[in-house]
Chain A
Amino acid sequence: MTKAPIIQAQKLTKVYSSGKIEVTALKDVDLAVGKGTFIGVAGSSGSGKSTLMNLLGGLDSPTSGSIEFEGELISRKDKNELARYRRHDVGMIFQSFNLIPFFSAVENVSLPLLFAGVSKKERREQASVFLDRVGLSSRKEHRPSELSGGEQQRVAIARALVNSPKIILADEPTGNLDSQTSSEIVGLLATINREQGLTVIMVSHEEALLKEHCDEIIRLFDGEVKVKEQLK
């Protein structure tokens, strides 16, 4: 590990309790992600990948253990501080795109800027720039329902980038896409990682894509990190 870690997790544990049943989704996960690296997360369904991403993204709080982002303890932050963290430091991408169906591509991309208090005109301008960057110049006014899966995921990527975050968290971004589109999307994330030095953590089942682009692959089994593969 040559690069200084941008995000670090220690003994990260998450227990979901619904009623009397307790599910340990993550157990004592230790993690250190170097700035500018492309990390892959693999594991079978239910192994805790999404849970890990949500904790790293500040959408959820761990049951125990700690997360440090650029030396700051994320796991200690209150709700408002977590919202601020998500707003300024993190860009998230999901398997099901999670676009707002009533909003056009530009409106969806400018959503994070809305909560950052950017004016409407500037929001549109910036959103437009990022849509150009993901290759959707001609689809700006389309609604999600008028776009293909790959195009929708590009909109989501533009949305994740628009706030100039320091880390991108992509939870199975290719899970709903065909293999051709999948490699295009992962290729886009890899390009962003390479050209802008943006740290990317991506969950995926597609070994070939992981092996092709990732610096390191973390394999989860029943909420525990069993293997860390250093590739580059």
Chain B
Amino acid sequence: MKLIDYVDLSFSNLWKRKLRTFLTIFGVIIGIGALVAMVSFGKGMQKNVSDQFENLELFNYITVFSESFNPLGFGGRSPRGQRQRGRSRDSQEEVKGSEPKPLDDEVIAALRSIKGVESVFPDIRFPAEVRANEEQVFSLIQVLPAEFAQSTLMSLRAGKAYVSDEEDSLIISDSLLRRIGLKDLDTAIGQKVRISTLILDFSNFNPMNLASMIQGENLPIAKEDYEFTIVGITGRMGFGSPTPLRSDVFIPRGTSERMKKLPFTNMWDFFRRTEQNLGYSVVNIKVESPAFVNAVKTKVQEMGYRTFALIDQFEEIRTGFLFMDMILAAVGMIAIVVASLGIMNTMVMSILERYSEIGIMKAVGAGDGDIKKIFFFESSVIGFFGGVFGLALGWVVSGLINRIINYFLAKQGVPFIDYFNFPWWLCLGAVLFAVVVSLVSGIYPAVRAARVDPVVALRHD
């Protein structure tokens, strides 16, 4: 038998039983469609996250923590931990690991001279009241050098970033803007905003009140007002913002230096800083490319600081995605299994109906192999069409879902994102998988068909 004859014969056999063939193919279409939609959703999420990280050059950043600062419990290599381990083995280690220098401007200069480091800026944030018109909100202000405000790191929804480090300008997030009563983004640009910093005022400081101070009362604090102009508005990050930008208001560096303020972000800092200046808590390093991350990190750790690089975390994120992919694929697989049972059912039914036909074919010279192949071809034709149209269905449905999600998220100010991703291997794989699944489903029916005894099949009396 020639290949073309198998194709011909399977098409005409399937065409004879149009309705059943269509229903069976439809089962495969739904199965493959579900699987494709699920996997493309998983891939879409993953692509969005990694694209976003890459676009924002987030893999180019290393966060350096001073010895004691560990607000989020980031892992990193702790020099103290090393020393403790060293102590149990060899007490001489202790001498080597002296307390690292505070993260001050001198250290920043040293960090800047490491090979591969593009720039370094301290992560300075301070609490302040932000006020426009009548509304007043307490927020953390982040000091961001103009060069970073203008980089890809900062995605602006409206306006521009400040160009000099000396302007009395600020960039504000749209959510904070809304909270201070400025709803319209376009008219907000150019508006004046008053920022009131907190300063120490020892005129009525009483050390005996320490206990109540810890609870935030009777603090020796006064306010100082500054006026800023809104020049830019940032959008909200789609994915939890794991960037060096951790604030709703950004002001230039030079301007910040001229302001009186308490540069603390928690009570611990407050007390520490009153004892002695231990420098910055956190410093951000930007390397020239992600390739430098490990080398720079090692250098920084040798200097005695703890580090955090998102690229390390990304491996964990990837594992998380793999897990998500597996769950999504498992849901899709259920549909595939059902479709596969449908194929099996159809083909077994077909044997029963074509029992005497199989007998006839054998009587005129068909071998078991011929019969097997005829049935295999029919299953794979079902699989092929199920795969092709299933892919199309998955594509169309996920496209629709994508539009609907984006329609609702656009109302909340989230930019348009493709939540589904169709890499070429998914398209090819879906069709191939459908054919393979139908071939596997076709094994039992084909073997059974080949085993039909022509003598029994042809006996009519």
Residues of A within 8 A of B (CB): 45, 50, 54, 57, 59-60, 79-80, 83-84, 86-88, 92, 94-96, 98-100, 102, 111-112, 114-117, 119-120, 159, 163
Task: Check B365 against A98 for contact (C-beta < 8 Å).
Answer: no
Task: Check A115 against B458 for contact (C-beta < 8 Å).
Answer: no
Task: Check B364 against A86 for contact (C-beta < 8 Å).
Answer: yes
Q: Per a CB cutoff under 8 Å, which of B5, B359, B458 touches A114? A: B5
Q: Can you identify 24 A-B contacts, CB atoms within 8 angstroms?
A: A45-B461, A57-B363, A60-B454, A60-B455, A80-B369, A83-B366, A83-B367, A84-B367, A86-B363, A86-B364, A87-B364, A88-B365, A92-B363, A98-B360, A98-B363, A99-B360, A100-B357, A100-B360, A111-B361, A111-B364, A112-B364, A112-B365, A115-B361, A116-B365
Chain B, range 242-287, C-beta contacts under 8 Å to A: none
Name the residue of chain B whose CB is nearest to the CB of A91.
Answer: B364
Contact status of A117 and B2, CB under 8 A, knowing A79-B368, A87-B365, A100-B360? yes
Instruction: Determine if B89 is an interface residue (Cβ-Cβ < 8 Å).
Output: no
Residues of B within 8 A of A50 (CB): 459
Residues of A within 8 A of B359 (CB): 98
Instruction: Determine if B129 is an interface residue (Cβ-Cβ < 8 Å).
Output: no
Per CB-CB distance, the 3 closest pairs between chain A and chain B, nearest first, are A87-B365, A83-B367, A112-B364
Task: Check B360 against A86 for contact (C-beta < 8 Å).
Answer: no
The distance in angstroms between the C-alpha atoms of A111 and B368, with both chains bound, is 16
Chain B, range 339-388, C-beta contacts under 8 Å to A: 356-357, 359-370
Residues of A within 8 A of B460 (CB): 95-96
Q: Per a CB cutoff under 8 Å, which of B2, B9, B363, B459 touches A119? A: B2
Best-surrounded residue of B9, B365, B461 (most CB of chain A within 10 A): B365
Task: Check B365 against A59 for contact (C-beta < 8 Å).
Answer: no
Instruction: Determine if B4 is an interface residue (Cβ-Cβ < 8 Å).
Output: yes
Task: Check A117 against B1 for contact (C-beta < 8 Å).
Answer: yes
For the A-B complex, the count of residue pairs with Cβ-Cβ distances under 8 Å equals 74
Q: Could you tell me the distance in whole angstroms from the C-beta of A106 to the nearest C-beta in chain B?
A: 14
Task: Check B356 against A115 for contact (C-beta < 8 Å).
Answer: no
Residues of A within 8 A of B5 (CB): 114, 120
The dominant DSSP class at the B interface is: helix
The distance in angstroms between the C-alpha atoms of A214 and B367, with both chains bound, is 33
Residues of A within 8 A of B367 (CB): 79-80, 83-84, 115
Instruction: Determine if B106 is an interface residue (Cβ-Cβ < 8 Å).
Output: no
In addition to A92-B363, A117-B1, A120-B8, 13 A-B residue pairs with Cβ atoms within 8 Å of each other are A45-B461, A59-B363, A59-B454, A60-B455, A83-B365, A83-B368, A84-B367, A100-B360, A102-B12, A111-B364, A112-B364, A114-B5, A119-B2
Residues of A within 8 A of B96 (CB): none
Task: Check B1 against A114 for contact (C-beta < 8 Å).
Answer: yes
Best-surrounded residue of B8, B364, B369, B453 (most CB of chain A within 10 A): B364
Task: Check B369 against A159 for contact (C-beta < 8 Å).
Answer: no
Task: Check B365 against A84 for contact (C-beta < 8 Å).
Answer: yes
Task: Check B356 against A98 for contact (C-beta < 8 Å).
Answer: yes
Interface string of B423-461 (1 = CB under 8 A from A): 000000000000000000000000000000111001111
Q: Could you tell me the distance in whole angstroms from the C-beta of B85 to the nearest C-beta in chain A?
A: 73
Q: Could you tell me the distance in whole angstroms from the C-beta of B279 to the nearest C-beta in chain A?
A: 86
Residues of B within 8 A of A96 (CB): 460
Task: Check B370 against A115 for contact (C-beta < 8 Å).
Answer: yes
Residues of A within 8 A of B363 (CB): 57, 59, 86, 92, 94, 98
Instruction: Determine if B411 is an interface residue (Cβ-Cβ < 8 Å).
Output: no
Q: Could you tell me the distance in whole angstroms from the C-beta of B99 to the nearest C-beta in chain A?
A: 86
The distance in angstroms between the C-alpha atoms of A99 and B359, with both chains bound, is 11
Residues of B within 8 A of A92 (CB): 363-364
Q: Could you tell me the distance in whole angstroms from the C-beta of B333 to the nearest C-beta in chain A?
A: 36
Q: Could you tell me the distance in whole angstroms from the C-beta of B21 to the nearest C-beta in chain A?
A: 14
Residues of A within 8 A of B364 (CB): 86-87, 92, 111-112, 115, 159, 163
Name the residue of chain A whose CB is nearest to the CB of B354.
Answer: A100
Q: Per a CB cutoff under 8 Å, which of B4, B366, B454, B459 touches A115? A: B366
Task: Check A163 against B365 for contact (C-beta < 8 Å).
Answer: yes
Task: Check A120 against B4 for contact (C-beta < 8 Å).
Answer: yes
The distance in angstroms between the C-alpha atoms of A83 and B452, with both chains bound, is 13
Contact status of A86 and B459, CB under 8 A, knowing A98-B356, A117-B2? no
Task: Check A115 against B455 for contact (C-beta < 8 Å).
Answer: no
Residues of B within 8 A of A95 (CB): 460
The distance in angstroms between the C-alpha atoms of A111 and B2, with both chains bound, is 13
Q: Could you tell me the distance in whole angstroms from the C-beta of A48 to the nearest C-beta in chain B?
A: 13
The distance in angstroms between the C-alpha atoms of A185 and B15, with both chains bound, is 34
